[in-house]
């Protein structure tokens, strides 16, 4: 009996040593692989931060800094290599508190802005490590591309005519500068846009020279007007003063609005294709060749003569007196832009003549707007949005534009449900978009790798060994003869 108990005791000791060895081995492997695990975790965290940051950039920054961070006018670019090497604290402070006497406002909630400290940190990560091409695609997919003209060329004939005016050379210089630097915000012929006032205005001409010069040189605090003293020379600023004071002498159309194509991505074109098939193909035919009810769209005369902005206006406002309804109150701007981008893809292969086509009696206008059928009213048409598209939600940033109905994909996650100050603000506290939570859950599941299993196996071995040794000791105590 004693030999049997001794053999059992040795087996228990061997199992205990084996379990301890497994624990030590697993701990050793865990320690040597910990640096790699930390790097992988940091990469995953950076991926989440950059994804949120691209949404924040699209919603709050693209209107001034451009589609791909290239800058607009005097607003500096963010995709500059020098910013990537700038200290983190300096970038953070600039975003959080803004820059005095510039158009850069404070974005921190502590300074009256809409962004949390965590969101500002995400934007810093975008500047330091982001992919600006991917960021530009995200801006387009969310329907927040700054669709404003960036530059244009003055009309050559009118520019030559300006040269015959008194001090015409100075006016020509100013018109050229305005066409390349200022038309983005102040519009064609200086008549203003939705983001900047008109400069070709009698009220502006009533201001003093010093006041206008100070605004051009140092900007206007609290507005998008940045200071141009680092971009324009004193002579060029003086020329701009001359243009503003004498604008009534400049022929109309000297600074035309350029034809700026609507930016597209694979996702936006796919969305436009789905929306066209669901809402437009019934009248314009699936291939855009037109029907007796509506004219052809897939024809060179239409696509070559009509700019993207004109097509967007037609879809948004409709065509009075025809069967074309207004879709502006039924679709978001992003959806309409997606349709325009899809139609533009036809231009390269569009036929010269489309069938059926023909001018109806009493209907004028360009050939592409004519049709054999008389116009009929469409009393109530609601847009059909594919079920697999994310429902648009209003943004809570500085812009009131709605997000595009783009479904997130593994290659281009748009996170259309993200809103600044809401989900994104919670992302540092375990919230954020659903895909981010799924990523965190997947990462937690992957954490149970073989190292953890080895630790568990070793711990169970030691536990079972201790239990077995306890039962064995109790058994020996019961079998030992009582002491006398």
**Lowest mean pLDDT across 2-6, 50-54, 306-310, 312-316:** 2-6
Most confident of 15-19, 23-27, 45-49: 45-49
The per-residue pLDDT for 364 is 43
Stretch 149-153: mean pLDDT: 72
Most confident of 3-12, 137-146, 378-387, 393-402: 137-146
Stretch 38-61: mean pLDDT: 92
Q: In this predicted model, which residue has the larger pLDDT, 90 or 187? A: 90
**Lowest mean pLDDT across 13-27, 43-57, 179-193, 225-239:** 13-27
Model confidence pLDDT, tens digit, residues 79-123: 998 898 899 999 999 999 998 777 788 999 998 889 999 999 999
The per-residue pLDDT for 389 is 47
Would you state the structure tokens that stand for residue 63, as one six-digit string? 């209107």
CB 73 within 8 A of CB 185: yes
Most confident of 15-19, 119-123, 309-313: 119-123
Q: How far is CA 311 from CA 143, 194, 305, 404, 407, in A?
A: 16, 19, 10, 18, 25
158-249: in CATH 1.10.760.10? yes
Residue count (the chain): 484
Model confidence, pTM: 0.53
Q: How far is CA 260 from CA 58, 119, 187, 263, in A?
A: 19, 32, 13, 9
458 Cβ contact list (under 8 Å, min separation 6): 19, 20, 21, 22, 23, 24, 25, 26
- Is the previous residue joined to 356 through a cis bond, with omega within 30 degrees of 0? yes
Of 300, 334, 301, 299, nearest to 315 (Cα)? Answer: 334
Dump the DSSP string for 70-89.
---TTSPPSS-HHHHTS-HH
The band of 342, judged by pLDDT with boundaries at 50, 70 and 90, is very high
Please say if the pLDDT value at position 408 is more than 90. no
The band of 143, judged by pLDDT with boundaries at 50, 70 and 90, is confident
Which residues belong to CATH 1.10.760.10 in the chain? 158-249, 266-369
The per-residue pLDDT for 158 is 93
The CA distance from 301 to 366, in Å, is: 9
Please say if the pLDDT value at position 413 is more than 60. no
The CA distance from 414 to 406, in Å, is: 7
- Strand, helix or coil for residue 291: strand
Stretch 416-438: mean pLDDT: 37
Q: In this predicted model, which residue has the larger pLDDT, 29 or 414? A: 29
Please say if the pLDDT value at position 63 is more than 50. yes
The per-residue pLDDT for 429 is 34
Of 367, 422, 432, nearest to 395 (Cα)? Answer: 422
Please say if the pLDDT value at position 362 is more than 60. no
Of 288, 261, 46, nearest to 140 (Cα)? Answer: 261
The CA distance from 55 to 75, in Å, is: 20
The CA distance from 411 to 431, in Å, is: 22
Q: Which residues pair with 402 in a beta bridge?
A: 394
Q: Which helix (H) or strand (E) holds 160?
A: helix 156-162
The dihedral through the CA atoms of 393, 395, 401, 405 has a sign that is negative
Q: In this predicted model, which residue has the larger pLDDT, 465 or 160? A: 160
162 Cβ contact list (under 8 Å, min separation 6): 168, 171, 172, 175, 250, 251, 254
The CA distance from 213 to 218, in Å, is: 8
The CA distance from 213 to 241, in Å, is: 7
Would you state the structure tokens that stand for residue 348, as one six-digit string? 């390269």
Q: In this predicted model, which residue has the larger pLDDT, 154 or 389? A: 154
The per-residue pLDDT for 29 is 81
- Strand, helix or coil for residue 245: helix
Task: Tell me the percentage of the chain whose pLDDT exceeds 90.
Answer: 35
The per-residue pLDDT for 71 is 85
Would you state the structure tokens that stand for residue 262, as one six-digit string? 């609507």
CB 396 within 8 A of CB 419: yes
Please say if the pLDDT value at position 378 is more than 60. no
Q: In this predicted model, which residue has the larger pLDDT, 139 or 416? A: 139
CA dihedral 315, 317, 321, 322 (to 10 degrees): 20
CB 6 within 8 A of CB 469: no
Model confidence pLDDT, tens digit, residues 204-263: 999 999 999 999 998 887 676 778 888 899 999 999 999 999 999 999 999 987 777 888
What letter does residue 430 receive in the DSSP assignment?
T
Of 48, 63, 5, nearest to 443 (Cα)? Answer: 48
Q: What is the residue-averaged pLDDT of the chain?
A: 77
CB 406 within 8 A of CB 414: yes
Stretch 419-424: mean pLDDT: 34
Please say if the pLDDT value at position 435 is more than 70. no
The per-residue pLDDT for 430 is 35
Of 171, 144, 163, 129, nearest to 45 (Cα)? Answer: 129
The per-residue pLDDT for 310 is 78
C-alpha angle with apex 288: 286 to 293, nearest 5 degrees?
90
- In CATH terms, the superfamily for domain 266-369 is Cytochrome c-like domain (1.10.760.10)
Most confident of 17-21, 56-60, 147-151: 56-60
- Strand, helix or coil for residue 126: helix
């Amino acid at each position: 009996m004693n030999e049997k108990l001794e053999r059992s005791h040795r087996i228990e000791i061997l199992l205990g040593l084996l379990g301890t060895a497994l624990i030590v081995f697993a701990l050793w492997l865990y320690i040597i692989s910990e640096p790699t695990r930390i790097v992988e975790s940091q990469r995953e965290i950076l991926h989440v931060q950059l994804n949120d940051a691209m949404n924040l950039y699209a919603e709050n920054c693209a209107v001034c800094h451009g589609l791909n961070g290239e800058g607009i006018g005097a607003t500096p670019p963010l995709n500059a290599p020098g910013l990537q090497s700038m200290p983190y604290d300096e970038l953070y402070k600039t975003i959080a508190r803004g820059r005095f006497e510039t158009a850069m406002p404070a974005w921190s909630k502590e300074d009256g802005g809409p962004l949390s400290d965590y969101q500002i940190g995400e934007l810093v990560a975008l500047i330091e490590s982001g992919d600006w091409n991917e960021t530009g695609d995200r801006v387009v997919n969310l329907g927040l591309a700054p669709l404003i003209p960036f530059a244009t060329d003055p009309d050559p004939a009118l520019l030559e005519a300006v040269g015959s005016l008194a001090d015409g050379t100075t006016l020509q210089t100013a018109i050229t500068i305005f066409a390349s630097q200022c038309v983005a915000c102040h519009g064609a012929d200086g008549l203003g846009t939705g983001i900047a006032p008109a400069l070709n205005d009698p009220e502006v001409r009533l201001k003093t020279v010093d006041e206008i010069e100070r605004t051009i040189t140092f900007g206007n605090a609290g507005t998008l007007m940045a200071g141009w003293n680092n971009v324009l020379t004193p002579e060029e600023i003086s020329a701009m003063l001359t243009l503003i004071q004498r604008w009534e002498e400049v022929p109309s159309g000297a600074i035309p609005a350029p034809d700026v194509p609507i930016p597209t991505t694979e996702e936006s074109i796919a969305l436009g294709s789905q929306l066209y098939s669901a809402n437009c193909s019934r009248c314009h035919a699936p291939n855009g060749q037109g029907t007796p009810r509506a004219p052809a769209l897939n024809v060179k005369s239409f696509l070559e003569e009509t700019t993207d902005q004109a097509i967007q206006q037609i879809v948004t406002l409709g065509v009075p007196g025809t069967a074309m309804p207004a879709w502006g109150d039924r679709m978001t701007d992003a959806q309409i832009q997606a349709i325009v981008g899809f139609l533009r893809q036809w231009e390269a292969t569009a036929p010269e003549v489309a069938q059926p086509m023909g001018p109806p009696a009493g209907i004028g206008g360009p050939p592409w707007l004519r049709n054999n059928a008389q116009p009929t009213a469409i009393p109530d048409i609601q847009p059909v949005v594919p079920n697999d598209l994310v429902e648009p939600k209003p943004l809570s940033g500085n812009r009131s534009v709605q997000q595009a109905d783009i479904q997130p994909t593994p290659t281009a996650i748009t996170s259309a449900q993200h809103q600044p100050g809401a989900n994104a603000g919670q992302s540092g506290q375990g919230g954020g978009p659903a895909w981010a939570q799924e990523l965190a859950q997947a990462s937690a599941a992957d954490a149970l790798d073989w190292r953890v299993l080895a630790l568990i196996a070793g711990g169970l071995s030691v536990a079972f060994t201790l239990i077995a040794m306890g039962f064995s000791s109790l058994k020996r105590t019961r079998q030992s003869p009582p002491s006398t």
